[in-house]
Amino acid sequence: MILSEYIEKLKKLEKEYGDLPVIYAVDDEGNRFCHLAWSPSPQMAENIEEHYIENLICEEDAMEDGIEYIPNCICIN
């Protein structure tokens, strides 16, 4: 899913149900839920196409490794 699709779905939910708290599942089976702790942030992931993303690259690490830091995803928490 891309950011614009996600925002559109959120807008529809807000219109139908109002301004509700946002939570997330800690795993894909929904064994536990938590409130979002942080604002969305741009990130750079190594394997963005994989279901389970193994590694995010912070700007500082990219600079140390001589990699151009170009965010390719938005992290919600």
Distance CA(27)–CA(68), nearest Å, equals: 31
Q: Where are the domains of the chain?
A: 1-37, 38-77
Listed in sequence order, the residues at least 6 apart from 13 whose beta carbon sits closer than 8 Å to its beta carbon are 20
Return d(Cα 22, Cα 69) in angstroms, integer: 29
pTM of the model: 0.76
For the chain, helix (H) and strand (E) counts, in that order, are 2, 5
Find, among 36, 12, 9, 11, the residue nearest to 22 by Cα: 36
Q: What is the pLDDT along the chain (77 residues), one digit of tens a residue?
A: 999 999 999 999 999 999 999 999 988 888 999 998 889 999 999 888 888 888 889 899 999 999 999 999 999 87
